[in-house]
């Protein structure tokens, strides 16, 4: 986005005072200010909204419209977080819990993060996996998912339908979502990620594992047992580690911490110590290399090794995994 386009967006944010309207204006009229179009959009929105409301001002999310890359279903609602509207506090497996920042209310964004096509049940929390509209070029952006994966996903609609316990998918994923529908949306996203693994798409095992950890927190907060989904998560993340999916060293340190934490939670202390040993080995190698190259820093690996050691030290604490 160029400087002029950014300036137009800033002015629209001031004039429209609603992120959804800003997105809609740019989609329809492009990055050009026109007060007639601005006023028309405001009036149309007022007429369409209940009691002339301009929307809930304390809502920390806004909606952009995307299109399904599998069946071309248009106008799917993709929920994004407004800037500085929510703070996050991660659980032991780095999955965030959300709190509103005044004047915004608290919402559990995990329940709405996955966009689901009601026709073919393609699902992803990443808007780039869908077809999106480019304001700059006034054209449609393609999905970042490989065409070969998309073709395979087209053949697996029945598999996705078998994952969902609902007769009417259109109503099933309407907002606000329940814990049940939030979990179902992540199960569909895992299905997509596992299809990606079959064609060796980047980060596919990692995404399946992280989606599983989202489900685990939703289940835990609902008072349900999360052992089964944690076992799935550790299996997926272990495959990600073995295949060296993460090319960023700090992300790899984080992944190994997650594996040590998961094995500890699942009462496999031997595997937990094995992964802690990997972090310790990396730390030693970096410290040795730093003697010849002062630019090498061990801070990142230290951080994740220390977090793993803290869990190990506190492993007998009764409520360790509730946080």
* pLDDT for residue 129: 97
Cβ atoms of 262 and 321 closer than 8 Å: no
**Lowest-confidence range among 100-109, 160-169, 198-207?**
160-169
Contacts of 190 (CB under 8 A, 6+ apart): 208, 211, 212, 232
At residue 33 the predicted structure's pLDDT band, cuts being 50, 70 and 90, is: confident
For residue 218 the two structure tokens come to 């939703």
* pLDDT for residue 6: 75
Cα–Cα dist 257/214, whole Å: 17
What are 251-260's pLDDT values in tens digits? 999 999 999 9
229-239: buried (b, 16+ CB within 10 Å) or exposed (e) per residue? bbebbbebbbb
At residue 4 the predicted structure's pLDDT band, cuts being 50, 70 and 90, is: low
Higher pLDDT, 25 or 222: 222
* pLDDT for residue 49: 47
What are 159-186's pLDDT values in tens digits? 999 999 887 888 888 888 999 999 999 9
For residue 7 the two structure tokens come to 């300036």
* pLDDT for residue 54: 38
What rounded mean pLDDT belongs to the chain? Answer: 90
């Amino acid at each position: 986005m160029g400087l002029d386009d950014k300036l137009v967006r800033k002015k629209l944010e001031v004039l429209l005072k609603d992120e959804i309207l800003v997105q809609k204006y740019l989609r329809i009229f492009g990055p050009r200010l026109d007060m007639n179009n601005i006023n028309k959009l405001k009036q149309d929105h007022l007429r369409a909204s209940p009691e002339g409301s301009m929307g809930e001002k304390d809502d920390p999310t806004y909606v952009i419209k995307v299109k399904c890359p599998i069946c071309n279903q248009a106008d799917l609602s993709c929920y994004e977080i407004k800037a500085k509207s929510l703070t996050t506090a991660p659980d032991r497996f780095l999955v965030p819990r959300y709190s509103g920042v005044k004047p915004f209310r608290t919402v559990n964004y995990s329940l709405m993060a996955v966009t689901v096509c009601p026709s073919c049940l393609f699902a992803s929390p990443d808007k780039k996996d869908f077809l999106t509209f480019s304001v700059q070029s006034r054209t449609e952006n393609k999905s970042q998912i490989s065409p070969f994966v998309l073709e395979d996903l087209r053949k697996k609609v029945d598999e996705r339908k078998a994952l969902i316990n609902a007769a009417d998918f259109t109503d099933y994923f309407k907002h606000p979502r329940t814990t049940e529908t939030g979990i179902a949306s992540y199960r569909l996203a895992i299905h997509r990620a596992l299809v990606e693994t079959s064609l060796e798409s980047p980060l596919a095992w990692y995404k399946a594992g992280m989606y599983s950890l989202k489900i685990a927190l939703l289940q835990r907060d609902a008072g349900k047992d999360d052992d089964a989904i944690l076992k799935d998560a550790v299996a997926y993340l272990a495959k990600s580690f073995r295949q060296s999916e993460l090319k960023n060293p700090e992300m790899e340190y984080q992944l190994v911490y997650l594996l040590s934490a998961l094995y500890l939670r699942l009462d496999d202390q031997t595997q937990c110590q094995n992964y802690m040993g990997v972090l310790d080995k990396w730390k030693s190698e970096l410290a040795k290399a730093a003697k010849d190259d002062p630019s090498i820093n061990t801070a990142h690996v230290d951080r994740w090794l220390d977090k793993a050691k803290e869990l190990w030290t506190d492993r007998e604490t009764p409520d360790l995994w509730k946080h």
